[in-house]
Amino acid sequence: DAGITQSPRHKVTETGTPVTLRCHQTENHRYMYWYRQDPGHGLRLIHYSYGVKDTDKGEVSDGYSVSRSKTEDFLLTLESATSSQTSVYFCAIRGGETGGSYNSPLHFGNGTRLTVT
């Protein structure tokens, strides 16, 4: 298994509180991603990073921010949690291009189950 650790694995928080989820990798991969998984919606991209301090938005970025100050850590912050952000959050990593090809697979962590009450 790729060396990806997500913490915490489970969290219950109240509406309006800030929450930070952490993704830590030991693979020295360039690309890191945050997805959320909801029934009937598959995996939707929240934010991603293509290097230290280089991040960009995904398709469902509203209400989320990210930071990457080191290659190995990618943090996802919910500034003021809402019930609609109750979900399972997955971090994924991907190595860089080889031989000019972008075709390398994602490796996922085991997820963080977040409940906002």
Pairing of strands 112-116, 10-13: parallel
Q: Per-residue x/- marks for other proteins, 17-36, CB under 8 A? A: --------------x-----
The secondary structure of residue 101, as a DSSP letter, is B
Cβ closer to other proteins: 33 or 85?
33
Contact between 116 and other proteins by CB under 8 A: the answer reads no
Tell me the DSSP string of 16-66: T--EEEEEEESS--SEEEEEEEETTTEEEEEEEEEETTEEEE-TT-TTEEE
Contact between 40 and other proteins by CB under 8 A: the answer reads yes
Backbone angles phi, psi at 37, to 5 degrees: -125, 120
Query: In this chain, which of 81, 90, 114, 116 binds other proteins, going by CB under 8 A?
Result: 90
Query: In this chain, which of 13, 22, 58, 63 binds other proteins, going by CB under 8 A?
Result: 58
Query: Tokens standing for 98?
Result: 């080889």
Contact between 107 and other proteins by CB under 8 A: the answer reads yes
Q: Who's near 79: CB < 8 A, 6+ residues apart?
A: 18, 63, 65
Q: Which stretch binds other proteins (CB under 8 A): 15-23, 66-74, 75-83, 86-94?
A: 86-94
* Contact set with other proteins (CB under 8 A): 4, 31, 40-45, 48, 50, 58-59, 90, 92, 94, 102-103, 105-111
